[in-house]
Amino acid sequence: MRPLRAGYLAAAAVTVFGAVTGRDRLQWLTKPLLMPLLAADTVTSGVELDPAERRILLGSLAAATVGDVLLIDPDDDRRLIAGASSFAVMQTGYSLLWWRRGARPRAAIAAPRLVAWVGAAGLLRAKAPVLAIPLTAYGATLGTAATLASDPALAPGAKNIAGLNIPNSDPRSRLGIGALLFTVSDGLIVLRRLFARDDRTRRISEGVILATYAAAQYLLTDPEVAGPSRGA
């Protein structure tokens, strides 16, 4: 494992620990480091990347850094909306990357993600109307990126089961799992906001959200999933 990615895992572990134990100072120290560590790894990994794709990836990680800082306080709806806007920029960048690498939307892959998006939008509209429009708009960018990440064209040798590429020795096959983890993490954000009432439940759920988020970013941003550009 490359040192910067090992550092990322260590910072992610401390961030999760800080969330679960209510130590916000730990989150402020380590969470803003997560995406910069992945960005530094992208630059220093030695993996050949198309310059345009490198810029897109670094820009996406910069937007995610802004979102990470905003969501250190996930119980502030204004910060939640602003964070979702930052992550929408990131998801759009990821979609552009997958598109450049040959991914295209397929109805069978998009259908379950569309159902989940509609369900989440309805829940938000009923329970938290002030969040419904911005988070539903963000959900559209998340669903688009997740749909493209599981296109079999990205990893031709991987099995695709129920619209998800199953990881094998090809690093590109991990993108679908990364996108699924991101979807789980964001879905839990909605459930936490709507249903977590006591402090202990909020802290534990925030730890799970951060753990799935960190795992997703680790899989989605590995330069080895790209290799030499196959851009359109």
The tens digit of pLDDT for each residue in 79-89 reads 999 999 999 99
pLDDT of residue 226: 59
Strands (E), the chain: 160-161, 164-165
- Write the CA distances from 142 to 60, 78, 168, 197, 201, integer angstroms: 13, 20, 24, 26, 25
In the chain, the N- to C-terminal Cα span, in Å, equals 30
Condensed to tens digits (0 to 9), the pLDDT of residues 105-142 reads: 999 899 999 999 999 999 999 999 999 999 999 999 99
pLDDT, position 160: 85
The ranges assigned to domains in the chain are 3-225
Does the structure show a pLDDT above 90 at 3? yes
* pTM as predicted: 0.92
Contact between residue 90 and residue 185 where contact means Cβ atoms under 8 Å apart:
no
**Average pLDDT of every residue of the chain:** 92
Other CB atoms within 10 Å distance of the CB of residue 169: 7
pLDDT of residue 163: 83
> Over the stretch 28-65, which tens digit does the pLDDT of each residue have?
999 999 999 999 999 998 888 889 999 999 999 999 99
